[in-house]
Chains A and B, each alone.
Chain A
Amino acid sequence: MVLKTLDLLGPLHGYGIARRIEQISGDLLAVNQGTLYPLLLKLEHEGAIASDWGTSENNRRARFYRLTRAGHQQLQTETRDWEQTAAIIARFFDVKGEDLS
């Protein structure tokens, strides 16, 4: 989700990412926002994202995260993986009793 958000909106700071995810999921996803940061650091450590200092919309100094090339690739693989998984699950739900008989 973090990668997709960054892919869609370009460089963003941590608070911004948290807000976006909140918005996109329509407040349905009620995770602790705090868990976002370890994830960001981890992704950065793995090289999927990179960070620079920048100035946020309300003039605060903040760290902006952006997607790297490796991050793009990872996003693509994970998107594919997810689509596959979703498709498989979906087929299970689509199956009707008479199809199997």
Chain B
Amino acid sequence: MRSLQRFFARLSNLAARGRADRRLREEMDEHLAQQTADNLRAGMSTAEAHRQAVLKFGAVEAIREEYLTELSLPFIWTLSQDLRYALRQLAASPGFASIVILTIALGIGATTAIYSVVDAVLLHPLPYPQPEQLVRIENDFPGIGARDVFLSVPEWKDFERSGIFQYVAPERSGSVNVTGSSQPTRIQFKSVAANYFALLDVKPELGRVFDPNDPAPGFNLEVVISDGLWKRDFGADPHILGKTLRLDNDPYHVVGVMPPDFHDQGRTTDIRNTEIWAACGFSSLPSPPPARGARRLRTAIARLKPGLTVAAAQSRLDVLVASLRRQFPADYPPESAWTVRLLSLGDTVIGNVRQPLLLLMGAVVMVLLITCVNVANLLLARASARGREMAIRQALGAPRLRLIRQLLTESLLLSLLGGIAGLAILFFTRKLLLQMIPAALPRLNDISINWTVLLFALGVSVLAGVFFGLAPALQASRQDPIHVLRQEGRGSKGSKSQTWTLSALVVTEFALSLVLLIAAGLLLHSFWDLFKVRLGFDPENVIAVKLWLPAPNDPNTDIYGTPSHQAQFVRELLRRGQSLPGVKEIAVGSSGSIPLNHDNNLFPLVLEGSTTRSNLPHQVEGSSVTPEYFQLLGIPLLRGRIFTETDVENAPTVALVNEAFARTWWPYDDPIGKRMKLGRAADSWTTVVGVVTNARTESLENANIPQIYLSSWQRTDKDLAIFLRGRLDPAKLPQQVRAVVQSLNNELPVFGAKRLPDVVSGSLEQRRFSMEMVLLFALTALLLAGIGVYGTISYIVSGRTRDIGIRIALGAQRKTILQMVLNQGLTLALAGAAVGLVGALIVSHLMAGLLYGVSPSDPLTFISLTAVLVIVALAACYIPARRAMRVDPIVALREA
């Protein structure tokens, strides 16, 4: 307590110290004057009187200093002294200061930029209260190799009653036709349990959310809309509540508007941009209550009871699942090994961006380290130039710790200035930088420069300052002043330990940049392989446009309810579309047939003669298409036939499969004529009539995904895509297609027109982004390492001018000198490369998941990039080496 009091008193003294100092001086002067007067009176001479007075009084300055130290906080006093001195030092060499500050600014700016992304995406993936309580529930049947299969309504109710969760909410995402405004639109839509918003614990900005205890079994015809939709389509109408929206021709009324910062959770960007939510009981009265085996609920999320960890909840859930398995052996046969997994909701939202982001963070930290090492190198070189100053200070009695402190203050000042500059650059370029980030990144909208990010930047600046300041500070303070002062003015000034520190720093730099180079090389290799991969289909000159046929809640009002009705519409659409300008070919398919759309279009699959139980099917990627689809996309038929005009509603159901499908399920038999069931057991058999080649329409990385194609004439898929090939005008085409579609039915929205080549390159966007960033970081690192080795070798050469002069005078060949210096650089580069190769091997295996078509220890990449590094090192050494070679012995020796 006392010491705290003293602390504050001293703190206040800081301001008053000038006044106190003046007082003290006045008093002391007064005392001396009086003493002198007394002495004079005692008969001394003027000079003697003054001398005796001063002698009696003691050392004026020492007393004063002691008093001032006593009065204030020596720490802050010294700090402000050091700071003032450091500022003067920087002002004295503005060139040096600006280079250092700029280097640090780049390092810290880049690190902070990536950190702000990591902070939003990885550290705060869910913008809801108590996000740690939120989980996703997934049903697995590991016994039959089925993961993440759907849930059934009785299972949902079981989970709700289990006492493990506060709420459990199934959800189903899709899109819906909204009519009533000027142009029918397609809106991302989610049917959710009534407790959905209560579960997420979010409040609307207007109106209310659904009543969590709403018992309505089907849709209760209430919707909540997003702020974006409200502002865009309704002009932020304050009387929106109670208004009616027609969704797929059914009337719903708006009960609430979510706030602008609310974003839905989900695995895809589309889902996260949901704009309409409708409450649903997931069962309806006229139909019988849903059976346990009827798995219709795509996904479910839940909020755990407070205080329950995911692990604890999982173990309690395992007990529940075991008892349900005993209770319903028919629905959960032992061989299926039914389990239920709880996944942290945040993790499922982050999905597969965690690894690339961590890679980027690692890469940028390495660049930061390299910048620090470079700055340390610069400071070291400067420290040796200031060796004399340090030596004099030491000779005058400055303690070593005090010198280190002063030098550290200088480096901290540099790094903080650098940090501020970095943040400033970041702040002014943030819009540009955000555009570079792939749109598919979760929480993209929430990336900002907030307090956490600022704090991070500050922390990094301080750490960097200590990191790059410590070595030069220790180095400078370790010098022997006598030695330095005596040496000053002579040729060789580089002490052995100094050279050693410099070399160690350069080796570190090389090692780090090699790791980055190899990581970038492997990513580039993967990207290139994927870019050049044989697609198996031809996207050139193809545009796909989406269309949605409404699915009203009452099937009797659906004018496209039967395959025949829908086929009539589609045929007419094809006929009219064919006459559009530039169109050579046209086809229609379900939206799942759009290449690389990243939707899951899984069909439950039961093969004839297979022993799998009907309610636990395998799953297969499938879509429905018109016969022209294969010709248009250039997917050749291998055997059998394409669909014909006779494969219609009442004819036997037929399917085409791809090679991967045939090889997976019938490796030894002819697939033609084989039968299977898609969907429920009650459905009729589907016969395979043909096999087409594998096309990478599901994933660029994997050509061997089994796929099945059904005939559009036999199905009623609501989500349609129109494919057009020819010399098309991408700007005008959507409007032309809309005109054609609406000439058939003016309530149908036409949306999502995309050129297929863009779709293909877009699916590489995330890869391209991380590849480009790592490449950029690696090149920066290489450049910095080159500068680093150049500086170090120059420094060593300039320190050895005399030595080289003597050698030349004694008859050494100039070539030998050149070689000697280059050798020195080469040794550093090779040492760095050796360390770097080990690091790169570790890193490349950690990022194996991001690679495609290249092994993590690809010898070609490793060897060629090591060679690049060595060449850069040699090139950087060449300039100082030439300077060494040209040393004029006479000049060198005379100067020394």
Contacts and interface: CB of A to CB of B under 8 A. Distances in A.
Interface stretch (B30-38, B177-185, B425-433, B526-534): B30-38
A60 B34 contact: yes
Interface residues of B, number: 21
A18 B60 CA distance: 16
Leading 8 A-B pairs by shortest Cβ distance = A32-B58, A38-B67, A34-B58, A15-B34, A34-B57, A34-B63, A37-B27, A15-B31
B24 interface: yes
Contact of B60 (A14, A34, A63): A34
26 contacts: A13-B30, A15-B30, A15-B34, A15-B35, A18-B31, A32-B57, A32-B58, A32-B59, A33-B56, A34-B31, A34-B57, A34-B60, A35-B58, A36-B31, A37-B27, A37-B31, A37-B63, A38-B24, A41-B23, A41-B24, A41-B27, A41-B67, A42-B70, A45-B9, A45-B20, A62-B30
Nearest to B33: A60
Contacts of A40: 27
Contacts of A34: 28, 31, 57-60, 63
Contacts of A15: 30-31, 34-35
A58 B38 CA distance: 10
Given A33-B31, A33-B56, 13 more contacts: A15-B30, A32-B63, A34-B31, A34-B58, A34-B63, A35-B58, A37-B28, A37-B31, A38-B70, A41-B23, A58-B37, A60-B30, A60-B34
A36 B58 CA distance: 11
A56 B37 CA distance: 13
- For chain A, the bracket of interface size reads 20 to 34
B66 interface: yes
Contacts of A35: 58, 63
Interface string B134-155: 0000000000000000000000
A33 to B, nearest CB: 5
Contacts of A42: 70
Interface of B: 9, 20, 23-24, 27-28, 30-31, 33-35, 37, 56-60, 63, 66-67, 70
Contacts of B66: 38
Interface in A53-93: 56, 58, 60, 62-63
A32 B64 CA distance: 13
Nearest to A38: B67
Contacts of B35: 15, 33
A25 to B, nearest CB: 14
A58 B24 CA distance: 22
A34 B70 CA distance: 15
Interface centre among B30, B35, B58 (most CB of A within 10 A): B30
Given A41-B23, A42-B70, A14 B58 contact: no
A14 B30 contact: yes
A35 B24 CA distance: 11
A79 B650 CA distance: 118
A54 B56 CA distance: 25
B101 to A, nearest CB: 42
B31 A14 contact: yes
B553 to A, nearest CB: 85
A41 B16 CA distance: 13
Contacts of A33: 31, 35, 56-58
Contacts of B70: 38, 42
Interface in A17-47: 18, 32-38, 40-42, 45
Contacts of B63: 32, 34-35, 37-38
Nearest to B28: A37
A37 B60 CA distance: 10
